[in-house]
Structure 1
Amino acid sequence: MGAIPTFDTAPLDGALAASILDWWHDAGVDLLVEDEPRDWRAPEPARAPALSPQHSPAAAPITAPVALLPDTLEAFLAWRLSDAAPEATWDGVSLTATGPADAALMVLVDCPDREDGEAGQILSGAPGRLFDRMLVAMGQSRETVHIASVCARRPIAGRTPAGLEARLAEIALHHVGLIAPRGLLLLGNAASRAVLGTELTDARGHSHVVDHKSGNCRAVATFHPRFLIEKPMAKAESWKDLQRVMGELNA
């Protein structure tokens, strides 16, 4: 009906199939069907109390020992590119974070896109150009913000392996602590899940307090630029999120 992109899937090559999966993943769709059948006539189970946006699930302790991660930004970024990183065995190249170590605003995405490896930086190509315009609208630039990704390399079909989600989330939160920004902009569903522990659809619309090793910061989640390219109508909602980020930085 206009909100969902349509594709000619005959023939459906690997790149197009991966692109379609990326689109749905950025929209927050993680599966097509559930593993177990659902009894639609069964009473609805009791829901756990909703967490306040002021107290993000990211503040909960994570089982993996944070102390094992390098405690300086220089050492941490070198470790992220080393064979010790969780993604070291994945195909492709690892991309490091960019931007000043004392940035007031940190931007976290899910993973590098396919063209990012050739460009040598996170957020390149058409999504990168849109991202640059988003930064300008906020009075920022790549020279003033710290840009990082949950995954240093791109996983298959752009989806973080379920078995590594907790470890990569811990690493991302440790990275936030090393930068200690005033504001944190989360682009896409995977970034929202890693830092806030919640889906993008639930995280949007308000800011979250995120605790880290150096204190805390305010985080705002919004759509990834690649999703906005496929669904331009969402740009108005994304602009509201960016305005919220600007308000947090100026508070």
Structure 2
Amino acid sequence: MITARDMTAAELAALLHFHAEAGVEWLVEDAPVDRQAAFSAEKQARQRPAAAAAPGTAPAPERRRPEAPQPAPRPAAAIAIPDEHAVTEARFAAESARTLDELRTAVEAFGGCNLKTSARSTVFAAGDPAAGVMVIGPMPSADDDREGAAFSGKAGFLLDRMLAAIGLSRETVLLSTVIPWRPPGDRPPSAPEAAICRPFVERQIELAEPKAVLLLGNFTARFFFGGTGTIHALRGEWREIACGSHAVPAIATLHPQELLTAPASKALAWADLQAFRARLGG
């Protein structure tokens, strides 16, 4: 008899093709196999260990896979204060301060603005509160957040030169920012964030009682003057900003960072600085 082992692959393929055409659906082995007897033997083999157990003894407990350790519960996230409530709380905290030192403490303790959670420092006004001159920028930069002071880094160095050109310095003005906390990635503050911070910066102006305010940058000019104009449309013109019971004259100019990226605009900033110096009385 020729077995399958003695046949080539082509012969096997031809044989299978012949069986398929003949209607063969099952292939059998050379020796018969009793499948029912094999199944009965396997069933008896599985039942034998249970029958061998002593009567009255409890079966061995089933082994269970150890459960994976449950992760520790996360601490509850801080409850976000709705914007309108945060504005009310900010206004109450600002109006309760009677001095700039008290206002600094109130700002540092305030937790109603989400910007504080991602910032490293709270940047507050610094300089001479009695100088009668305020310089206000938009929001802290990465350098400001790291140093904890407004106008740090290259932009701050350029501002020092700008002030020196009109006979001023950090020590003879009060430097501040509209927003006391740096937004993530230096993005512009949202409208609700700006509304929450407004009572604090307006209270700074009210307590310092400056004779004139220099506003730096597009965001700062829009914040106090309103509208959607660019700094080139808002700069160089004196306007009054109302802070509590005070109306203070203010003029806007380009931010030092804008002058670093566009040096050709320095001539415009110089004209604004001269107007500011003239308003202060020479």
TM-score by length of structure 1 reads: 0.69
Structure with the larger RCO, 1 or 2 (CA within 8 Å, 6+ apart) = 1
1:71 aligned residue: 98
Paired residues of 1:173 and 1:212 also in contact (CA < 8 A)? yes
From 130, 143, 151, the equivalent of 1:102 is 130
Q: What are structure 2's unaligned runs of at least 5 residues?
A: 1-86
Corresponding residue for residue 221 of structure 2:
192
Q: Name the % identity.
A: 30
The separation in 2 between residues aligned to 1:177 and 1:83, in whole angstroms, is 19
Deviations 1:41-94 (A, max 9, x none): xxxxxxxxxxxxxxxxxxxxxx85845412321110111222435232233221
Partner of 1:117: 145
Aligned residues: 189
Q: How many angstroms does 1:179 deviate by?
A: 0.7
Structure 1: which 5+ residue stretches go unaligned? 1-62
Partner deviation per Cα, 1:186-208 (whole Å, 9 max, x = no partner) = 11111112222234233212111
The structure that is helix-richer by fraction is 2
- The residue type equivalent to 1:169 in the other structure is R
Change (3 A) 1:222 1:99: same
Identify the match of residue 236 of structure 2 among 167, 182, 205.
Answer: 205
Mapped partners of 1:68, 1:92: distance in 2 = 22
Answering whether residue 183 of structure 2 is matched by residue 152 of structure 1, we say no
Cα distance in 1, alignment partners of residues 112 and 177 from structure 2? 13
Structure 1 CA distance for aligned equivalents of residues 169 and 201 of structure 2:
22
Letter in 2 for 1:168: C
Q: Is the 8 A contact 2:212 2:250 kept in 1?
A: yes
1: CA distance, partners of 2:245 / 2:276: 20
Over alpha carbons, which structure has the higher Rg? Answer: 2
2:226 aligned partner, one-letter code: G
The 1:124/1:250 distance shift into structure 2, 3 A limit, reads: same
1:143, 1:213 → 2: CA distance?
A: 26
For residue 198 of structure 2, what is the aligned residue in structure 1?
A: 169
Alpha-carbon RMSD: 2.0
The one of 267, 274, 279 equivalent to 1:236 is: 267
Helix, strand or coil for the counterpart of 2:118?
coil
